[in-house]
Amino acid sequence: MVEIATSLLSLDTENVTKDIYNLEVAHTDYIHIDVMDGKFVEKDTEKRMFDYTNQIKAISNIPIDVHFMVEDIKKQLEMYIPFMPNCITFHYEACKNKEEVFHYINKIKEEEIKVGIAISPKTKLETIYEFLPFIHMVLMMTVEPGKGGQQLIPETLEKIKLLYDYRNEKKLEFNIEADGGINLETISSIKQVGVDIAVVGSAITKSSDYKQTIELLKS
């Protein structure tokens, strides 16, 4: 059964408390927080996402799945580690070299927080093979990072299948998360290639009934 991480990126609301409550009632497995710095990607969601995370921590126990689309990972870790999210994922493409990747993997694990590495559609799978034994999750972008409401890029499905097969072949343990353009039309292909956690933004937050949409995505 695929788990659902609801992304709040496309949420346009005056009353985020009500939306968090509705997501709790709708049994989203995680809330996905898209931190964008206006440098790694064009949009800047730093303040909004920090406020959302504060609110979630104040009123809910839904596990938080943080997705850094930022250049300054160190700065964002200082802001998000205190929230003790379930998982913090950073982009391979934001790191200068493999030493930096390992540095952040260890830093996040030292805080007893799960660590994920995200790769964009154009990044080759082989570039992250050496990190896989040390991380809890791989976030496979199925759209170009930076905004919600995009179409899923079909070529990324083949890449996810390769990762799934590689994990089984090497008997590794990490979760596979897919992110971008996932909705009631594309969810079956996502399940077919072995995704464990599907990030869904606009298909949920723009729907009139969160609970029904999440049940349909999971069924």
Contacting positions for Zn ion (CB under 5 A)? 34, 67, 179
Does the protein bind ligand DX5 through residue 179 (CB under 6 A)? yes
Structure tokens belonging to residue 90: 């950073």
Residue 181: name its binding partner from ligand DX5, Zn ion, none (Cβ under 5 to 8 Å by kind).
Answer: ligand DX5
Residue from 4, 32, 37, 56 binding ligand DX5 (CB under 6 A):
32
Q: Is 200 in the site for ligand DX5 (CB under 6 A)?
A: yes
Is 145 among the residues that bind ligand DX5 (CB under 6 A)?
yes
- Is the CB of 77 or the CB of 89 nearer to ligand DX5? 89
Taking a C-beta distance cutoff of 8 angstroms, is the pair 214, 24 a contact? Answer: no
Residues 6 or more apart from 211 whose CB is under 8 A from it? 22, 25, 26, 27
Nearest distance from C-beta of residue 105 to Zn ion, angstroms: 19
Task: State whether residue 31 is helix, strand or coil.
Answer: strand
Binds ligand DX5 by CB under 6 A, chosen from 28, 62, 193, 201: 201
Residue 180 interaction partner, one of ligand DX5, Zn ion, none, beta carbon < 5-8 Å per kind: ligand DX5
Going by C-alpha positions, the residue among 97, 99, 91, 95 that lies closest to residue 120 is 91
| Rounded CA separation 219/217 (Å) | 6
Minimum separation from the CB atom of position 177 to Zn ion (A): 9
| Distance of alpha carbon 35 from alpha carbon 146, whole angstroms | 10
* Measured CA angle at 85 (ends 79, 86), to 5 deg: 150
Indicate whether 180 belongs to the interface with ligand DX5 (CB under 6 A).
yes
189 within 8 A of 210, measured Cβ to Cβ: no
The smaller minimum CB distance to ligand DX5, of residues 35 and 108, is found at 35
Binding residues (CB under 6 A) for ligand DX5: these are 7, 9-10, 32, 34, 67, 69, 143, 145-146, 148-150, 179-182, 199-203
